[in-house]
Amino acid sequence: MEKFELHILGCGSALPTMRHQATSQVVNVREKLFMIDCGEGTQVQLRRSRLKFSRLNHIFISHLHGDHCFGLIGLISTFGMLERTADLHIYSHPDLVNLLQTQIDYFCKGMSYQVLFHPFDPKAQMVIYDDRSVSVETIPLRHRMPTCGFLFREKPTLNHIRRDMIDFYHIPIWMINRIKEGEDFITEEGKTIPNSWLTIPSAPPRIYAYCSDTAYCPRIIEQIHGADLLYHEATFADSDLVRAKQTQHSTARQAAQIACDAQVKRLVIGHFSARYEDEKQLLLEAQEIFPHTVLAQENLQLTI
């Protein structure tokens, strides 16, 4: 099975603490790295993760609150000092272009690579990235400013050809990929061997959904339905529901309800408020609704 991993770099909320870094994570799809959000300290966490800087070419910013984007200029500057040459693509609300370009022009003159911006409307559901391995689409959310999550859909892989059939029918190397793509095989005697005899279906494509920051938002359920892994913010405990509504964030119980209703396979909760010394109460609240829940933590790696 091809690699599809989630690396948590930071899972705290806006107020810095000694326990958590600001929000950021990296999705590894077949050794291509995609960053989601880039709070302060992200580049240090990226070092600790031992992920290769050179394989990170795309950054997706959910919204323009500082704990989700204040780390961008530092990361861009570091890439310049490393003499990066590959373009860096940033996908975000259109306002980020003006906010960040001024800093790049002032602090990062003469860089050896280009930063390319791809603005999108966070209020609209749309595909904003697509290649042979994965597509990324926006998930419109409910927050105090235009905000979206991101849905990573893996592309189907080719069927697997059976080694015993290659040997039995003496299938030449040049035919192997064609058979993986669905062709039958015709022997030297003219007999047609059905493709279904020769191949094993590949694993179903996987889906990862990222939802932070947002108030309880049931309209996303249809879009994320059946995801293999859901990251959903759980800033507050249920006892702080009033505060969650005021700030348009979610409680752990609400995150779990979304996961349950969307019939996802696993849930990881994060974006924890600084008021909690121990997030175990958030985990227990979520697990009452959705048992397959884990707490996000720095340097946590999850295979999807």
The pTM assigned to this predicted structure is: 0.92
- 220 shares its domain with 192: no
pLDDT tens digits along 271-299: 999 999 999 999 999 999 999 999 999 99
- 126 shares its domain with 241: yes
Q: What is the CATH number of the domain that holds 136?
A: 3.60.15.10
Q: Can you read off the two tokens belonging to residue 34?
A: 């995609």
User: Do the Cβ atoms of 185 and 179 come closer than 8 Å?
Assistant: yes
- What is the structure's pLDDT at 32? 96
- What is the structure's pLDDT at 122? 97
- 184 shares its domain with 139: no
- What is the structure's pLDDT at 158? 82
Of 174, 200, 226, the position where a domain reaches its end is: 200
- What is the structure's pLDDT at 256? 98
- Can you tell me which residue has the tokens 């958590």? 20
What does the H/E/C string look like for the chain?
Answer: CCCEEEEEEECECCCCCCCCCCCEEEEEECCEEEEEEECCCHHHHHHHHCCCHHHEEEEECCCCCHHHCCCHHHHHHHHHHCCCCCCEEEEECCHHHHHHHHHHHHHCCCCCCCEEEEECCCCCCCEEEECCCEEEEEEECCCCCCCEEEEEEECCCCCEECHHHHHHHCCCHHHHHHHHCCCCEECCCCCEECHHHHEECCCCCCEEEEECCCCCCHHHHHHHCCCCEEEEECCECHHHHHHHHHHCCCEHHHHHHHHHHCCCCCEEEECECCCCCCCHHHHHHHHHHCCCEEECCCCCEEEC
Of 149, 173, 200, the position where a domain reaches its end is: 200
Which residues of the chain carry a pLDDT beneath 70? none
Query: Which residue range(s) make up the domain with 196?
Result: 160-200
Structural domains counted in the chain: 2
- 131 shares its domain with 270: yes
- 121 shares its domain with 66: yes
- 36 shares its domain with 126: yes
- 196 shares its domain with 258: no
pLDDT tens digits along 95-116: 999 999 999 999 999 999 999 9
- 172 shares its domain with 52: no
Of 177, 200, 223, the position where a domain reaches its end is: 200
- 24 shares its domain with 173: no
Respond yes or no: is residue 95 known to be catalytic: no
Identity at 265, one-letter amino acid code: K
Which of 67, 95, 131, 184 is labelled catalytic?
67
- What is the structure's pLDDT at 296? 98
- 192 shares its domain with 250: no
- 44 shares its domain with 186: no
- What is the structure's pLDDT at 168? 84
- 59 shares its domain with 143: yes
